[in-house]
Chains A and B, each alone.
Chain A
Amino acid sequence: MRLLHVDDISLTIAELCYRAAVCLPEDMRHALKIAEDAEESPVGKSVLRSLLENADIALAEGLPICQDTGMAVVFADIGVEVLLEGGTLEQAVNRGIARGYKEGRLRKSVVAHPLERHNTGDNTPAVLHLRQIEGDRLRLAVAPKGFGSENMTRLFMLNPTAGEEAVVEAAVHAVDEAGANPCPPVVVGIGLGGTAELALEISKRALLRPLATPAASVAAGNLEKRILERINDLGIGPAGLGGRITALAVHLEEYPTHIAGLPMAVSISCHALRHAEAVL
């Protein structure tokens, strides 16, 4: 067994919050540069240039890339040989979020009750996804999710015999309907299979896959390519002002499902696809 004090976890979470909010990951920056070259619309091109400039300014000045520093989604994979000291993982994560958002001057966007809507003042609670893994390590990923894109999430309970075509149509439909709202160019995460709630979780996790890394199977990869092409024919373009580059990537992940169903979830991330990871 390996002892891990929750204070160390809190500190790491706080650092990850700041890093995620301020520092655009290199794969996203690279994808935006390629998009800037490829975009045909002059306005679209200039939007992409602004986004790259924005990422530079944010990093140089220690400012968040986007003012909406999101609700903090935390993925924690905990080794079976890890023994926590001083509290629960959930407490540790929330203490870290509170600290990271306060000291990092990140926006507090969480309300305590969905209808009463009083701001909690420290951006807690986080949304925590916990998984058990082998070994004695704790893997943490903080992925702040802005709600411009989160509001565009869609769940489709497709007919089990609907097939690939229906999957493509549903994905394209979701992005078409979202239009300019999720701040294109977007990255599209698709969860296919499982149950309704698992499909949604998988679609979120799919957004964490580094850009330009291949899908789990050739078939999934081909489907991703087909969907991406169709999305980029929609004409929505950067910032939704018209153009060729509406999505930078489509990530599709699968899971076994029931004979009577084909759940499909679509999570959309804006170009500010923020996530930061650490292993303790």
Chain B
Amino acid sequence: MSGERVIKLKTPLIPQAIADLHVGDTVLLSGIIHTARDAAHKRMLEALETGAMLPFPLRGEIIYYAGPSPAPPGRPIGSIGPTTSYRMDRFAPRLIEAGLRGMIGKGERSLEVAEACQRFGAVYLAAAGGAAALLARSVTSAGVVAYEDLGTEAVRRLEIEDMPLIVALDIHGGDIYRQGRERYRR
């Protein structure tokens, strides 16, 4: 998957790097990210509200909305594509406020998430939904760091190299899902 401009990006995300991203840019992302989806988000929000420990510090972090299939022997991970992001819309603004700077997933986000991205300087990156075996190739190591009882929904720390993504929401008010649809609608 590739868009108009190709940008190599490293975690943790710094403000200048985020400001430079525009909707439609291809990002090849390397570094450390964490997976979390529905059930993990619910627990993280509870932790935030009660002041309990989070599974990882949020500052500058990127969350990948994903739950992998089991890893074959000798491999860090099984297939790992994005899950649908809108289900995390009810949690994302609060996490962004607390320091989260990037989200990886698929599909449109709410107005509140887009506004939080602009206000606090965060970015939403789209991965190709269903390209899960391909995306697994970018993962060089993986391990569960929290909520192990959730199975595939546990929080995992992933080391990734050149994961191909497209900027879907930038801090300048761009939204690839809206703009893309407008461009090709008849």
Chain A residues with CB under 8 Å of chain B are 40-43, 46-47, 50-51, 53-54, 57-58, 61-69, 105-109, 117, 119, 121, 148, 151, 179-181, 183, 233-237, 239-244, 270-272
Please tell me if the beta carbons of B84 and A235 are within 8 angstroms of each other in the complex: no
Closest CB in chain B relative to A94 CB, distance in Å: 18
Closest CB in chain A relative to B80 CB, distance in Å: 5
Q: Which residue of A lies closest to B108 (CB)?
A: A179
A-B CB pair tally, cutoff 8 Å: 176
Bound together, the chains give a CA A33 to CA B130 distance in angstroms of 16
Which chain A positions have C-beta within 8 A of B177?
179-180, 240-242
Bound together, the chains give a CA A51 to CA B185 distance in angstroms of 23
Closest CB in chain A relative to B3 CB, distance in Å: 5
Which chain B positions have C-beta within 8 A of A117?
39
Please tell me if the beta carbons of A57 and B137 are within 8 angstroms of each other in the complex: yes
Which chain B positions have C-beta within 8 A of A179?
107-108, 177, 181
Please tell me if the beta carbons of B128 and A243 are within 8 angstroms of each other in the complex: no
Which chain B positions have C-beta within 8 A of A42?
3-4
Q: Which residue of B lies closest to A60 (CB)?
A: B133
Residue in A63, A121, A151, A235 whose beta carbon sits within 8 Å of that of B69 in the complex: A63
Please tell me if the beta carbons of A272 and B130 are within 8 angstroms of each other in the complex: yes
Please tell me if the beta carbons of A54 and B132 are within 8 angstroms of each other in the complex: yes
B179 within 8 A of A: yes
Binary contact readout B78-112 vs A (1 if CB under 8 angstroms, 0 otherwise): 11110110100000000000000000001110000
Q: Which residue of A lies closest to B73 (CB)?
A: A105
Please tell me if the beta carbons of B132 and A233 are within 8 angstroms of each other in the complex: no
Closest CB in chain B relative to A1 CB, distance in Å: 41
Which chain B positions have C-beta within 8 A of A53?
131, 134
Bound together, the chains give a CA A40 to CA B184 distance in angstroms of 9
Please tell me if the beta carbons of A66 and B180 are within 8 angstroms of each other in the complex: no
27 contacts between A and B (CB under 8 A): A40-B184, A41-B180, A43-B1, A47-B131, A53-B134, A54-B134, A57-B133, A62-B72, A63-B79, A64-B69, A67-B132, A68-B81, A105-B70, A105-B71, A107-B70, A107-B78, A107-B152, A151-B84, A179-B108, A181-B108, A241-B180, A242-B176, A242-B177, A242-B179, A242-B182, A244-B184, A270-B129
Please tell me if the beta carbons of A180 and B106 are within 8 angstroms of each other in the complex: yes
Closest CB in chain A relative to B84 CB, distance in Å: 5
Please tell me if the beta carbons of B106 and A47 are within 8 angstroms of each other in the complex: no
Bound together, the chains give a CA A244 to CA B186 distance in angstroms of 9
Place the interface of chain B in its size category. Answer: 35 or more
Closest CB in chain A relative to B158 CB, distance in Å: 13
Please tell me if the beta carbons of B130 and A270 are within 8 angstroms of each other in the complex: yes
Binary contact readout B1-18 vs A (1 if CB under 8 angstroms, 0 otherwise): 111100000000000000
| A-B residue pairs, 8 tightest by C-beta | A242-B180, A235-B185, A235-B184, A183-B129, A58-B133, A233-B186, A54-B134, A107-B69
Interface residues of B in 128-181 (CB under 8 A from A): 128-134, 136-137, 150-153, 164, 166, 168, 176-177, 179-181
Please tell me if the beta carbons of A233 and B185 are within 8 angstroms of each other in the complex: yes
Tell whether A148 pairs with B152 under 8 Å between CB atoms, given A50-B131, A237-B184. Answer: no
B114 within 8 A of A: no
Which chain A positions have C-beta within 8 A of B121?
none
Q: Which residue of A lies closest to B23 (CB)?
A: A241
